């Protein structure tokens, strides 16, 4: 029964007779993938994401954008996807380790249609780590990675390769790949040293297609063959492939996937910008993709303005989309505000045992090296209480933080969400200290603050102008020991 379920899931994405958007670094982000699907692409590959980077990410549901985000520790979105593309997007990873590859696949498989391994990237940053084209000459590792993925997940697994200098070696490699159980293999018809200006080897791809029973996806025809949609079929016939994957031609004009023909570039660029704004794409990435579309027009007045743009709003102004930008920003802000209200209401309904206060930590109000957390810890120690415990959560809505501190069995929390975990914990400490009417270390509290006093006393002791309470106790204790020992010697002395 379980095997039937797996087979049913794996068969969802078909790789025969498909027009496919190729994985492209910096280009294959969500706006480009959605635009390609809108114009008629059957399947879209995301840009390569290295396994180690992906494993550092947290999966967050972004209710404002209605996306699923995989966010790095520095809060940068590494991969963003949405429901519209869930059944059509293939996640491509860069990897040189079977176990890491499986860990990434398990992390992402419920949000994508298939998993692909990059085995063709010739760039040094990829091959140095044993990834990309470096795998072409390491068949044992290829077999290990692909077999592990096929056995370990329920979604289809594919890989993308380049051809080897020898046809015999190439056929041997693809047959090994087929034996691992992958659903398809994409082939860029050039060796790793060749670039787009070199002719693509259609004859080699045709030999591969004839040698395998699984679908072969032909890639690399943009410069020589693919200028409009009808050329995809021509390239497919030349290579004998099951499907065609388009890179450069789609980067220049994503409407290459339209059966009705290419659309004017101006219209295409505006549609791309709308997707970029709607899904909060990084402006630098948006600008890069638009520059690839402009190509020879980069030196035009509009091209120069685009090159100088420093925000998404400026990009919209260049393309006369100011109203769209404003309307979308207002819509997203309204959605965010509504969700914040909903979250606050849910917070108030829950955790009735938590003492709440709307406070926040403002660093400039405190002297260096003195914080509310320090004051709370100091007070807890003097009261012989356990160390305060902080429980911090992150809100998916905007990735802000809220912390609850437990002191002497009671919980305290600030209702203000903060940008960092540290700030949230300080705010929770303030809520506790103010509830208990204790000093929190602010400059306005002056010399009455116990931590100020302790630090002043320690400073005086170092300068020789005074001793601390601990030093007094230590000296008194030593003096008592000396007196006791002298008394014992006197009492036990024998006259000569």
And the tokens for 381?
Answer: 């120690």
E-assigned strand segments in 64-110: 67-71, 77-82, 89-94
Alpha-helical runs (H) found in 350-420: 372-382
Task: Determine how many CB atoms are found less than 10 A away from the CB of residue 327.
Answer: 12
List CB contacts of 15: < 8 A, sequence separation 6 or more. Answer: 43, 156, 158, 183, 184, 215, 217, 242, 243
How far is the CA of 362 from the CAs of 358, 418, 427, in angstroms? 13, 11, 9
16: left (phi over 0), alpha (psi -120 to 50) or beta: beta
- The answer to whether the beta carbons of residues 177 and 146 sit under 8 Å apart is yes
**Based on C-alpha coordinates, what's the Rg of the chain?**
32
Helix axes of 265-278 and 283-294: crossing angle, nearest 10 degrees: 170
**Which H or E run contains 217?**
strand 216-219
DSSP readout, 132-153?
A: GGGGGG-HHHHHHHHHHHHHH-
Alpha-helical runs (H) found in 56-186: 98-108, 124-127, 139-152, 167-179
How far is the CA of 233 from the CAs of 124, 218, 237, 247, in angstroms? 33, 11, 6, 15
Using alpha carbons, select from 313, 309, 336, 339 the residue that is nearest to residue 326.
313
- Phi and psi at 100, nearest 5°, equal -65, -40
E-assigned strand segments in 375-451: 389-394, 401-407, 410-414
And the tokens for 412?
Answer: 């305290």
- The answer to whether the beta carbons of residues 96 and 134 sit under 8 Å apart is yes
- The answer to whether the beta carbons of residues 133 and 162 sit under 8 Å apart is yes
**Dist CA 450 CA 349 (whole Å):** 37
**Which H or E run contains 317?**
helix 312-318
How far is the CA of 388 from the CAs of 381, 414, 442, in angstroms? 10, 15, 20
Catalytic residue numbers read 121
And the tokens for 405?
Answer: 């501190």
Say if strands 67-71 and 354-357 run parallel, antiparallel, or are unpaired: unpaired
């Amino acid at each position: 029964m379980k095997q039937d379920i797996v087979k049913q899931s794996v068969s969802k994405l078909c790789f025969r007779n498909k027009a496919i958007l190729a994985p492209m670094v910096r280009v294959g982000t969500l706006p480009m993938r959605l635009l390609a699907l809108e114009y008629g692409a059957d399947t879209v590959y995301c840009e390569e994401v290295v396994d180690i980077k992906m494993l550092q990410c947290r999966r967050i549901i972004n209710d404002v954008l209605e996306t699923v985000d995989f966010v790095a520790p520095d809060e940068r979105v590494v991969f963003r996807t949405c429901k519209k593309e869930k059944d059509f997007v293939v996640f491509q990873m860069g990897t040189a380790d079977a176990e890491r590859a499986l860990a990434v696949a398990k992390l992402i498989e419920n949000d994508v249609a298939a998993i692909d391994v990059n085995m063709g990237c010739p760039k040094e940053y990829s091959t140095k780590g044993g990834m990309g084209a470096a795998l072409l000459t390491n068949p044992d590792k290829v077999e290990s990675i692909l077999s592990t993925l096929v056995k370990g997940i329920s979604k289809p697994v594919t890989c993308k390769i380049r051809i080897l200098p020898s046809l015999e070696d190439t056929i041997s490699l693809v047959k090994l790949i087929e034996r691992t159980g992958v659903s398809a293999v994409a082939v860029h018809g050039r060796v790793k040293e060749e670039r787009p200006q070199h002719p693509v080897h259609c004859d080699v791809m045709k030999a591969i297609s004839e040698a395998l029973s699984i679908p072969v996806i032909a890639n690399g025809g943009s410069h020589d063959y693919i200028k409009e949609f009808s050329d995809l079929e021509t390239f497919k016939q030349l290579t004998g492939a099951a499907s065609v994957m388009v890179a450069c031609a789609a980067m220049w004009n994503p409407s290459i996937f339209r059966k009705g023909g290419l659309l004017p570039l101006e219209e295409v660029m505006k549609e791309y910008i709308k997707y970029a704004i709607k899904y909060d794409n990084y402006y630098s990435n948006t600008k890069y993709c638009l520059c690839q579309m402009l190509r020879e027009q980069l030196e035009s007045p509009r091209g120069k303005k685009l090159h100088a743009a420093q925000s998404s709003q400026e990009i919209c102004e260049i393309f006369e989309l100011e109203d769209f930008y404003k309307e979308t920003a207002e819509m997203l802000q309204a959605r965010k505000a509504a969700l914040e209200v909903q979250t606050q209401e849910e917070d108030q309904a829950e955790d009735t045992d938590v003492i709440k206060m709307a406070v926040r930590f403002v660093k400039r109000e405190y002297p260096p090296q003195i914080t509310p957390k320090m004051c709370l810890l100091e007070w807890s120690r003097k009261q012989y209480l356990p160390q305060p415990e902080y429980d911090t959560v992150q809100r998916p809505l905007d990735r802000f933080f809220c912390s609850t501190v437990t002191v002497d069995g009671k919980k305290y929390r600030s209702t203000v969400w903060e940008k960092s975990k540290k700030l949230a914990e300080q705010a929770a400490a303030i809520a506790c200290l103010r509830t208990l009417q204790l000093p929190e270390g602010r400059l306005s509290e002056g010399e009455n603050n116990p931590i100020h006093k302790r630090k002043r006393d320690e400073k005086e002791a170092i300068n020789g102008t005074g001793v601390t309470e601990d030093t007094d106790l230590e000296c008194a204790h030593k003096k008592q020991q000396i007196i006791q020992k002298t008394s014992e010697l006197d009492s036990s002395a024998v006259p000569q």
